[in-house]
Structure 1
């Protein structure tokens, strides 16, 4: 299996969403997400998929749901009923992305090789959270700070973590 990268924007209190929506608007983070995931398979839960107005262009969506009758009418989408089924589909890909939500992040974290985390330097009220990272399992490889400006209401930092081999 190729590399599995988990990509997420996460507040200081690990909040990632509320009412199936994002908690902030960070245009530069959207651009980064698009540039990293375009051309790759992206794995997500059903609620994350349903939070998009339509499928993201130039990416194959693998949607995980327990609902065996769930269907979508888009050609670049595959429905599966487990994370294992999703991993089977991406087994021959060089790189695939886990894009959320909270439950999928928790299930997928042990299988990921790289974490691309945008740490949003604020706390938010939320109903979806990112799992806590075990510092003995992950090494911060690089980070890039982005101060708030006229397009970004909060400071944030791009952080890339590499899984430590045991």
Structure 2
């Protein structure tokens, strides 16, 4: 089963220049909790992988790229070269976490069963956007207001959505 883990600004921005255009420690903490559960496997595109500061501990990284020469020598990283190679995760009973970027979210959206969503109630400049989707086709199974403090300056809400 594929689940998305994503933070989205009011204007649908998810990134700018291969980075998140905000700093929200509450969201990073939730991301870590989610991705260290279930399969402990995160699926991402090459640009998202390269934007990580390091290989995230305790998680298997699956990196999708069309560049057949792209290799990562690390036992926690598997490089795949076709979206077809992800289909085995779609039909699994185990939960696998898609973390971006925009191209990967677009390609895999029809297969996502769950979205762990952080809504950030601000507009940001960006060059990566989450796909538009019909919210009526998703059920909210959990909702929690994020705490605003000196480190978490933006109003935000954590939601878990399940495909209806």
Structure 1: gaps (5+ residues):
none
Matching of residue 26 in structure 1 with residue 24 in structure 2? yes
TM-score (norm 1): 0.91
> C-alpha separation between the residues in 1 aligned to 2:53 and 2:146?
28
Structure 2: gaps (5+ residues):
none
The answer for the alignment partner of 2:108 in structure 1 is 108
Moved more, 116-125 or 146-155: 146-155
The answer for the alignment partner of 2:8 in structure 1 is 10
Moved more, 140-149 or 43-52: 140-149
> C-alpha separation between the residues in 2 aligned to 1:15 and 1:55?
24
The answer for the alignment partner of 2:88 in structure 1 is 88
Aligned-residue Cα RMSD (Å) equals: 1.5
Moved more, 104-113 or 86-95: 86-95
The answer for the alignment partner of 2:78 in structure 1 is 78
> C-alpha separation between the residues in 2 aligned to 1:93 and 1:79?
22
Relative to structure 1, the CA distance from residue 140 to residue 92 in structure 2 (aligned partners, 3 Å threshold; closer, same or farther) is: closer
Q: How does 1:116-155 map to 2 (within 5 A)?
A: 116-155=116-155
**1:116-137 Cα distance to aligned partner (Å, 9 max, x none):** 1100110011000001121232
Moved more, 12-21 or 83-92: 83-92
SS at structure 2 position matched to 1:122: coil
Relative to structure 1, the CA distance from residue 54 to residue 91 in structure 2 (aligned partners, 3 Å threshold; closer, same or farther) is: farther
Aligned length: 162
> C-alpha separation between the residues in 2 aligned to 1:105 and 1:94?
19
> After TM superposition, what 4+ stretches of structure 1 lie above 3 angstroms from structure 2?
89-93
